[in-house]
Amino acid sequence: MNGVEVVDTFAEAFPIVGTRLIITAASEFWSHIAAYEFCGFATSVIACDAEAAIERALTPEQTPDGRTGISVLVFAFDRKSLESAVSNRVGQCVLTCPTTACYSGLTDSEKPEQLSVGSQLRYFGDGFQVSKKLGSRRLWRVPVMDGEFVCEDRFGTSKGVAGGNLLICGDNQANALAAAETAVNAMQPVPDSAFPFPGGIVRSGSKVGSRYKKLKASTNDAYCPTLMGSTTSALPQGTGAVYEIVIDGLTEESVRESMRAGLHAASQCDGVLQITAGNYGGKLGKYHFHLKDLI
């Protein structure tokens, strides 16, 4: 594609449970701050309690309280783990942030299974908290030092897909990174998708297992340019750097379309030698996104 080799392989993804939060605040600055703090240390469920990323910014017309907001997607292996991660993170990173409020971003029809969030955090009000209804929504008003923290009682969930990915091989670090940045920018507008690693980009791609028994994952040596002479390398000659983009989505289609957008964008960048994807021979997950189908 555009002179870049696209390997005939597939990205292997697996089922996961996700939810969407809408975080609002008195200004765009503070809604972003709360969202950034919430998403901290949420890159991979290999070692984190959840995978989370900002989905998009919201206008006042798109939020329940008519204020500027941020949509955040959060994923975990099961609803119990997701509920714990969301309630802990909202309590520590959103409740504490000036002027914020937090609402479920999934509609009633999309949430047969729900997470208890506001109903847990209300106890911070020490008996002074009160509930209110906003249409069909039950909200909790928790008194804090700058007024009230408003949080929805329960948050909807969705069966999601985690682990869609692209590996971009460049002739040097600068070109590979520029291509990865271009790809992420092209993928961002795809709804229902998120990229949990820093800036959406992973430098430390991993493989399952390690020679050290305590580690679940270790460096993906086949894609490390500095190890081309020391291991069985999967890289084309001349590769100077590789960056991975990992995609989580609320739907299979959102992951597929994100990968498609990223593949097309990266293939147009200078210095890209090859675009491929990571899989485990079909043993990890039931979702297989073949790169040839995205061309």
pLDDT given for residue 109 in this prediction:
45
Under 8 Å between Cβ of 21 and 74: yes
pLDDT given for residue 135 in this prediction:
85
Supply the mean pLDDT for the chain. Answer: 95
Query: Average pLDDT in the 55-80 region?
Result: 97
Flag whether pLDDT at 111 surpasses 60. no
pLDDT given for residue 77 in this prediction:
95
Taking the C-alpha atoms of residue 11 and residue 6, their distance in angstroms, rounded to an integer, is 13
pLDDT given for residue 281 in this prediction:
83
- Our CA angle for 260, 265, 267, nearest 5°, is 100
At 137-175, the pLDDT tens digits run 899 999 999 999 999 999 999 999 999 999 999 999 999
Domains of the chain, earliest start first? 5-13+160-294 (3.30.70.520), 17-158 (3.30.70.520)
pLDDT given for residue 108 in this prediction:
60
Taking the C-alpha atoms of residue 74 and residue 19, their distance in angstroms, rounded to an integer, is 5
Flag whether pLDDT at 9 surpasses 90. yes
Flag whether pLDDT at 219 surpasses 90. yes
At 188-201, the pLDDT tens digits run 999 999 999 999 99
Flag whether pLDDT at 33 surpasses 90. yes
Tokens 């969705």 sit on residue: 158
pLDDT given for residue 282 in this prediction:
82
pTM of the prediction? 0.94
Flag whether pLDDT at 112 surpasses 60. no
High-pLDDT (> 90) share of the chain, %: 91
Q: Which residue has the higher pLDDT, 204 or 283?
A: 204
